């Protein structure tokens, strides 16, 4: 199949930007590329989601470069080994990721924005697996930088940031020198696998460590099967259960 052309993207910086993406019945499309690949996990966060389906997005790659506060609060981050990273995506010419898209209600948008505030929000146009663009754009949580985060998102100042991260001696959110949180990586891999071989292989070959060189397939070959044996704690059994 010929490579689909990358479609235009634009930033979402204000609530009104999100409102502009609403359908006639006040739903908005959300992209899921990590934990949300698992529909069960997605429904633990968005219990009223509708139209969960597989899609393709050209011009992006996944990478583990976002330090996740949730990993610390649930005790699954390993500071000693620096296995503390969650997933993000960034524009990358020639790359294609397979993800999921679903819809949530307009009333859920403010909570979504607050929950994912460390990320850059983009409006993108996913495509079906056969390359047909979706009718409506979807929201994508993309890579940011600490400088941009404090300038545009965390207007309360760095003190607010340290309420979440400071006690763990984490002084930077967006990093290229950290490794995936094991429980989270296992969950994402299982979620991708549940969607079929094509989705799983895409996850292995188009998801990178923060170094932007090592694929998850190569990482698994290096660390062996130990990561897939990591069980989430009871507090994350549903959310990170694959």
E strand spans, the chain = 10-11, 27-32, 50-67, 83-105, 120-124, 138-142, 179-180, 207-209
Residue 4 predicted with pLDDT over 50: no
Residue 2 predicted with pLDDT over 60: no
Residue 183 predicted with pLDDT over 90: yes
- Stretch 219-223: mean pLDDT, rounded? 93
Return the top range by mean pLDDT from 4-8, 70-74, 112-116, 122-126: 122-126
Q: Calculate what percentage of the chain has a pLDDT beyond 90.
A: 67
pLDDT of residue 7: 47
Q: Are 82 and 109 in contact (CB under 8 A)?
A: no
Total residue length of the chain: 242
Q: Give the residue among 136, 144, 156, 164 at the shortest CA–CA distance from 13.
A: 144
Q: Are strands 179-180 and 27-32 parallel, antiparallel or unpaired?
A: unpaired
Residue 153 predicted with pLDDT over 60: yes
Residue 143 predicted with pLDDT over 60: yes
- Stretch 104-130: mean pLDDT, rounded? 94
What tokens does 148 get? 């941009």
Q: Which has the minimum average pLDDT: 5-19, 66-80, 136-150, 193-207? A: 5-19
pLDDT band with cut points at 50, 70 and 90 for residue 3: very low
Q: How many CB atoms lie within 10 A of CB 75?
A: 11
What tokens does 238 get? 């549903």
pLDDT of residue 117: 87
> Cα separation of 36 and 25, whole Å?
23
Q: Are 166 and 160 in contact (CB under 8 A)?
A: no
- Between the two ends of the chain, the Cα-to-Cα distance in Å is 30
* Backbone conformation region of residue 182, classed left if phi is above 0, alpha if psi is from -120 to 50, else beta: alpha
10-236 maps to which CATH number?
A: 3.10.490.10
Choice between 3 and 207, residue whose per-residue pLDDT is larger: 207
Q: Calculate what percentage of the chain has a pLDDT beyond 70.
A: 90
Return the top range by mean pLDDT from 68-77, 113-122, 161-170: 113-122
Choice between 44 and 164, residue whose per-residue pLDDT is larger: 44
> Cα separation of 93 and 214, whole Å?
17
> Cα separation of 25 and 199, whole Å?
30
Choice between 227 and 190, residue whose per-residue pLDDT is larger: 190
Average pLDDT, the chain: 89
> Cα separation of 212 and 215, whole Å?
8
> Which residues neighbour 60 within 8 Å (Cβ) at sequence distance 6 or greater?
89, 90, 91, 92, 95, 96, 97, 124, 140, 142
pLDDT digits (tens, 9 = 90+) for 8-63: 568 998 899 999 999 999 999 999 999 999 999 999 999 999 999 999 999 999 99
- Stretch 181-208: mean pLDDT, rounded? 96
pLDDT of residue 75: 87
Domain regions of the chain by residue span: 10-236
Query: Which residues on adjacent β-strands are paired with residue 85?
Result: 180
């Amino acid at each position: 199949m010929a490579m689909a052309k990358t479609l235009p993207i634009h930033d979402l910086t204000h609530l009104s930007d999100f409102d502009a993406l609403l359908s006639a019945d006040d739903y908005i499309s959300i992209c899921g590329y990590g934990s949300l690949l698992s529909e069960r996990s997605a429904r633990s966060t968005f219990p009223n989601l509708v139209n969960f389906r597989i899609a393709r997005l050209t011009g992006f790659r996944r990478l583990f470069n976002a330090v996740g506060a949730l990993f610390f609060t649930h005790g699954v981050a390993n500071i000693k080994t620096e296995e503390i990273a969650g997933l993000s995506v960034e524009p990358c010419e020639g790359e294609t990721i397979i993800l999921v898209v679903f819809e949530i209600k307009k009333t859920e948008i403010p909570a979504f924005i607050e929950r994912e505030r460390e990320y850059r929000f983009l409006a993108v146009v996913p495509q079906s697996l056969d390359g047909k663009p979706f009718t409506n754009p979807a929201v994508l949580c993309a890579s940011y930088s600490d400088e941009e985060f404090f300038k545009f998102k965390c207007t309360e100042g760095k003190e607010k940031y340290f309420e979440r991260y400071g006690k763990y001696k984490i002084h930077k959110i967006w990093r290229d020198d950290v490794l995936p949180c094991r429980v989270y990586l296992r969950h994402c891999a299982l979620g991708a696998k549940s969607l079929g071989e094509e989705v799983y292989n895409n996850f292995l070959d188009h998801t990178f460590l923060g170094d932007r060189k090592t694929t998850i397939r190569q990482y698994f070959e290096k660390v062996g099967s130990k990561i897939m044996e990591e069980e989430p704690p009871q507090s994350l059994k549903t959310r990170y259960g694959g």
